[in-house]
Amino acid sequence: MLVHAIPTNAGYEFAAEVRAGLTRAGQKELPSKYLYDDVGSALFEVISHLPEYGLTRADERLLRRYSDDIADRVAGPVAIAELGSGSGRKTRWLLEAFCRRQRTSYYPVEISHSALVMCERELSDIDAISIVGFEREYLDGLLEVAAYRKSGQRLLVLFLGSTIGNFDRPAGVKFLSDVRCILQPGDSLLLGTDIEKSSIELLRAYDDQLGVTAAFNLNLLARVNRELGADFDLSQFAHLARINEEVRSVEMHLESRRHQAVSISAAEVVVEFQEGETIWTESSHKYALGEIYEMARAAGFRCEVQWVDQQWPFAENLLIAE
Ligand code: TRP
């Protein structure tokens, strides 16, 4: 597999974003994309097997069960771009369905180099596939994929696993509009969305009994220690999941158990935490089925089909660019 990597000043950027997030007035925050280093990605893989967290399995079930239907609805020669491919495991069914029909190009776009390498290892045995990975942020990668498009080829963008839910609602629509701008009319976007469920179920899913989700969230502080020379004492922070009824999301925080100061050497800053003060790390918004039609329309798409899992309410939505 060809991997297009870009030279970045990744360490510097990480330090700058940590500094900005922890010194801002009001709610402290850390960007959720930093949850997924090698340790974080491995912990998330474990989360996806937990009985309490049915989201990933619902996504996989739908892709497995409906891959032929999905392929049937996207006609002609297609190039498939996946935003945040991860290991690529759940994409296999879909790629096989397309490759049975004709030779298909698959362009995973991923910020994690090791995920891209795994993705290639996982999928390169599929007949009639060609894989070119892009180690890029979503929209930068998609722009490059679009530049690779051959004439007459349709583009199908995969945005699975409910990552859209990690944007707040207005930012989610803005992101879909940005994707739409890179596409041509008739291109498609397969969008995964987690559907609303009870607060009890959601809190269980985002604060499991084994403490894997807590470890996943706390690993963000451990990563800041490892990579930026900080001295976070992990035993003095607790994982916290709470429901935000107003915006219909689950919020993940790291709560300081006492008044303390933490020094982050590479960010040249000392941060003070009050007892009970939190760092917001991620929100996961949940959707009503009908709402996805409106979001699609607002972003210049038409939602053509929804496939919904009955065991764990989750939808794959096929959006067509208008
Ligand atoms: N983006 C996933 C989701 O919204 C990831 C996730 C699961 C997550 N559990 C978490 C992110 C806990 C932060 C903390 O479902």
> Could you write out the DSSP letters of every residue in 235-298?
GGEEEEEEEETTTTEEEEEEEESSSEEEEEGGGTEEEEE-TT-EEEEEEEE-B-HHHHHHHHHH
Pocket mutation for ligand 1, best pick of 218, 252, 253, 287 (most atoms within 8 Å of C-beta): 252
Separation CA 116–CA 252 (nearest Å): 27
> Whose Cα sits closest to atom 13 in ligand 1?
282
pTM of the full predicted structure?
0.94
The atom number, within ligand 1, closest to the CA of 281 reads 13
pLDDT at 182: 98
Separation CA 183–CA 161 (nearest Å): 21
Q: Point out which residues pair with 252 in neighbouring strands.
A: 241, 282
pLDDT at 273: 98
Smallest CA-to-CA distance from 306 within 285, 292, 294, 295 is with: 292
> Whose Cα sits closest to atom 4 in ligand 1?
284
Average pLDDT value over all residues in the chain: 95
Packed helices 169-182 and 289-298: angle between N→C axes, nearest 10 degrees: 50
The type of residue at 133 is G
pLDDT at 166: 97
Q: Which residue pairs from 276-279 have beta carbons closer than 8 angstroms and sit at least 24 positions apart in sequence? A: 277/28, 278/27, 278/28, 278/240, 278/253, 278/254, 279/21, 279/22, 279/28, 279/29, 279/30, 279/237, 279/253, 279/254
pLDDT at 89: 85
Tell me which residues of the chain have a pLDDT lower than 70.
Answer: 1-8
The answer to whether 86 and 92 are in contact (CB under 8 A) is: no
User: What are the tokens at 9?
Assistant: 């000043």
* 284 CA to centre of ligand 1 in angstroms: 7
* 180 CA to centre of ligand 1 in angstroms: 25
pLDDT at 4: 64
pLDDT at 283: 98
**In the Cβ-directed half-sphere of 45, how many Cα atoms lie within 13 Å?**
13
The pLDDT tens digits for 168-206 are: 999 999 999 999 999 999 999 999 999 999 999 999 999
* 39 CA to centre of ligand 1 in angstroms: 15
For ligand 1, residues with CB inside 6 Å are: 35, 47, 55, 162, 165-166, 206, 213, 216-217, 252, 281-282, 284
pLDDT at 253: 99
Which region holds residue 186: left if phi is over 0, alpha if psi is between -120 and 50, else beta? Answer: left
